[in-house]
Structure 1
Amino acid sequence: MNDPGHRIHDPVPMAVLGVSGRMGRALLLAMDEAGGIRLSGASASSDSRWVGMDAGAAAQGAARGVAVLADPASAIQGAAVAIDFTLPQATGANLDACVAARCPLVIGTTGHASEIRDRIVRAADHIPLVMAPNMSVGVNLLLELVEQAARQLDERYDIEIFEAHHRDKKDAPSGTALGLAAAAAAGRGVELEQVAEYGRHGLTGARRPGNIGFSVFRGGDIVGEHTVSFAGIGERIELTHRASDRLAFARGAVRAARWLIGRPSGLYSMRDVLGFR
């Protein structure tokens, strides 16, 4: 494990990979709010205009005295744990750096290709990793509720996942929507890919019993909204989470990072962090 050389009462040194993105400022604010944490390093993509500048400025906040670096291996030097909110194509390099330094890693990035997901699993043989489609406490409670509801409501109840995000989000369905669908599938004891219905166009025919459908909206500056609908004959049950501030995700990521320090190697989820399993 990365040896930050800090004493037990010193602030926890934490690195933020992707500090100049939408989550960057939220993570710094969440670290300040939590207390007992200091930013030890920060990174951004090599073509970012913020490389070489102060991490606080990159996240549109107060100066931090930490320069933004393009090299993740340099950014995590001295960190007790790192948080990755970059782009999917940057996760591989971040993984390699953390494995080499034995630095625990929290991955909040979504939209990974299968090859990167496989690399994440392999990396967890060497370091402790938390990865979740959504870091907020509320969403992870929603995952539990969806799984329980799906276990009780059989195929006479059609399941649809509705999600909405800002216009710049690049992946669809969202990682959270996929996580909610996976929770519903687990509740029914089926594999998601056997029942997932990702899009509809033209003469699609009647809905196949047991399918889990997705409806996606992109627009404006929506932080994140997810509803799981169980539609039966004569009644409908809906479970909804709406995020109005990215701090909800950042607080969860910081909580996960603190929890991860000192854990054995392995792949953990937010449900582990929150004690749901």
Structure 2
Amino acid sequence: MVKIAVCGAAGRMGGRIISAISETEGAVVSGALERLGHPMVGQDAGFNAGLGAIGVTISDDLTAVVQGCDVLIDFTTPKVSLKNLEVCGLNKKSIVIGSTGFTPEERALAAELAKDIPVVLAPNMSVGVNVCFKVLADVAKILGDDFDVEIVEAHHKMKKDSPSGTAVRMGEVVAEALGRDYNKVANFHREGICGERTKDEIGMQTIRGGDIVGEHTVYFIGMGERIEITHRAHTRDMFSRGSVRAAKWVVSQKPGLYDMQDVLGLR
């Protein structure tokens, strides 16, 4: 039985993850973590998940929660995730990180900390999205430089980072397949007389509004034709189920930094 603790247990995503763990054979909720001073600290974690009492109290003691689990699932922010990763490393516990908005420097720090424990860090835990990553690489290699690439993503109005971590990863996958450096060719802003589109750039456009869970479309645009590859998320449940799948997988891996491509055997 894999003992899984959940960070951000009182949030919307935390509740869905706890629910997913309860529905997964071979997994059990062993701990629930929230920030110091959160009003739900001390309450049963099952209530936020719509499960009723499950006998796991929401705690603000990171070390105690980590020591009582095999793996911690974290959907918070990069700074919080890195702190949690460091504590997991000190206690030799695995961690699954679904936070988005990591800078290149923060990702490098995560890779350094992952030398001591197995870590899954992925901007999107959806099985479908990760299949899209694989398909995008294949399509980009086949089409080569003859097609322009544009990426458009849409999310709810409460999302804090832009573009989404998933859109960034899509851009990185395509750029790598085309032999380009994403950080040099990504174009996030066009306004006024901005000149003709360059051959190598990858456009990154963002939409925010309402309660959109997540939509991503990659356009491969040629002369007289285009290919559109789209993924639409209807609920957050696919992210929670994917994170639990990753948690069960990572506990038996060697130390290192992994992503959902590794979890799903797509490499």
State the match for 1:175 in structure 2.
165
User: Is residue 17 of structure 2 the alignment partner of residue 17 of structure 1?
Assistant: no
Give, in whole Å, the separation in 1 of the partners of 2:265 and 2:185: 29
Query: What is the TM-score normalised by the length of structure 2?
Result: 0.96
For 1:191-214, what per-residue CA distance to the aligned partner results, in whole angstroms no more than 9, with x for missing partners? 101211011122111111121011
Give, in whole Å, the separation in 1 of the partners of 2:148 and 2:37: 46
User: Is residue 113 of structure 2 the alignment partner of residue 123 of structure 1?
Assistant: yes
User: Is residue 89 of structure 2 the alignment partner of residue 105 of structure 1?
Assistant: no
Aligned length: 267
Give, in whole Å, the separation in 2 of the partners of 1:124 and 1:84: 15
State the match for 2:130 in structure 1.
140
Contact 2:155 2:208 survives alignment (8 Å): yes
Give, in whole Å, the separation in 1 of the partners of 2:12 and 2:139: 33
Give, in whole Å, the separation in 1 of the partners of 2:259 and 2:180: 20
Contact 2:119 2:257 survives alignment (8 Å): yes
Unaligned runs of 5+ in 1: 1-10
CA shift, 1:61, in A, is 3.9
1:155 to 122, 125, 145: 145
- Give the match's secondary structure for 2:230: strand
- Give the match's secondary structure for 1:215: strand
CA shift, 1:112, in A, is 2.3
State the match for 2:234 in structure 1.
244
Query: What is the TM-score normalised by the length of structure 1?
Result: 0.92
Give, in whole Å, the separation in 2 of the partners of 1:115 and 1:182: 16
State the match for 1:271 in structure 2.
261
1:209 to 199, 210, 222: 199
Instruction: Identify the range of structure 1 (148-157 vs 54-63) with the bigger mean alpha-carbon deviation.
Output: 54-63
2:31 to 31, 41, 50: 41
Instruction: Identify the range of structure 1 (174-183 vs 116-125) with the bigger mean alpha-carbon deviation.
Output: 116-125
Contact 1:41 1:77 survives alignment (8 Å): no
Aligned CA RMSD, in angstroms, stands at 1.3
Contact 2:19 2:49 survives alignment (8 Å): no
Give, in whole Å, the separation in 1 of the partners of 2:104 and 2:199: 28
- Give the match's secondary structure for 2:145: coil
CA shift, 1:60, in A, is 4.6
- Give the match's secondary structure for 1:76: helix
Q: Aligned residues: percent identity?
A: 46
Contact 2:5 2:32 survives alignment (8 Å): yes
Structure 1 moving runs of 4+ over 3 Å: 58-61
Give, in whole Å, the separation in 2 of the partners of 1:211 and 1:113: 20
Unaligned runs of 5+ in 2: none
Give, in whole Å, the separation in 1 of the partners of 2:136 and 2:6: 31
For 1:19-78, what per-residue CA distance to the aligned partner results, in whole angstroms no more than 9, with x for missing partners? 122211211121122222111011112232212221122445422211111232121222
Give, in whole Å, the separation in 1 of the partners of 2:16 and 2:74: 13
State the match for 2:216 in structure 1.
226
Contact 2:117 2:254 survives alignment (8 Å): yes
2:58 to 58, 68, 72: 68
State the match for 1:7 in structure 2.
none
CA shift, 1:115, in A, is 4.1
State the match for 1:192 in structure 2.
182
For 1:228-262, what per-residue CA distance to the aligned partner results, in whole angstroms no more than 9, with x for missing partners? 00011110100010010111111111111101112
- Give the match's secondary structure for 1:178: helix
Matches for 1:244-263 after TM superposition, within 5 Å: 244-263=234-253
